[in-house]
Amino acid sequence: MKALDATALDQLFRTARTYNRFTGEVDDATVKQLYDLVKWGPTSANQCPARFVFVRSEEGKQKLAPALSEGNREKTLSAPVVAIVAHDLDFHEKLPYLFPHTDAKSWFDGPQENRRDHAFRNGTLQAAYLILAARALGLDTGPMTGFDAAMVDQLFFAGTSIRSNILVNLGKGDPASIFDRSPRLSFDEACRIV
């Protein structure tokens, strides 16, 4: 494997920002292309617990609106698409297909509560893959946890084992909608090599 060039690293990390207002359009082909990258990101035992609802219609956005915190409502309604990143607490049911070389399903059989951490951890990783895949495809993003997850679950996942985790606005970010870049921890503050 070769390191990506500086332009690609800028696009993925150094100049990529979290936007608060969006324009543009995100068509079906782009949404599918996005998932077709996200799905390759690793998860433990290949659980792939994340489930995605890409809300694009006006009807879908109006359904989502009451669950959004006040500060997140306008920006989300402006976004061409908002991805609801959720995870299936019964992800193990698909492990005979997803991890076929051993009986991985049996590791996770039993009460749903025992699968919660796995689903949350790996589903959150998949949300991060979504952000980076979107940037790789030239989309801007706006991840959010300021929403009523119980309400989103009721509105979009009623009667299922799927639970919402993170929303991600997708589109063309409006540069006027961001603050100056906040600092990050230095290597010495956040890391050590032992």
Smallest gap from residue 152 Cβ to ligand FMN (A) = 13
Smallest gap from residue 32 Cβ to ligand FMN (A) = 24
Residue 72 or 126: the one with the smaller Cβ distance to ligand FMN is: 72
Q: Could you count the other beta carbons within 10 Å of the beta carbon of residue 124? A: 16
Residue 29 or 185: the one with the smaller Cβ distance to ligand FMN is: 185
Q: Could you count the other beta carbons within 10 Å of the beta carbon of residue 70? A: 7
Residue 113 or 189: the one with the smaller Cβ distance to ligand FMN is: 189
Lookup: tokens for 50? 């994340």
Q: Residues in the site for ligand FMN, rule: CB under 6 A?
A: 17-18, 71-72, 143-146, 166, 178, 181-182
Single out the residue of 63, 90, 82 nearest to residue 143, CA to CA. 82
Question: Which residue type is seen at 80?
Answer: P
Q: Which residue is nearest to ligand FMN (CB)?
A: 146
Which single residue is written with the structure tokens 């006006």? 58
Residue 100 or 175: the one with the smaller Cβ distance to ligand FMN is: 175
Smallest gap from residue 181 Cβ to ligand FMN (A) = 5
Length of the chain: 194
Q: From residue 172, give the alpha-carbon distance in Å to each of 25, 121, 130, 179.
A: 8, 28, 15, 16
Smallest gap from residue 132 Cβ to ligand FMN (A) = 12
Residue 182 or 186: the one with the smaller Cβ distance to ligand FMN is: 182
Separation between Cα atoms, residue 191 and residue 194, nearest integer Å: 10
Smallest gap from residue 33 Cβ to ligand FMN (A) = 22
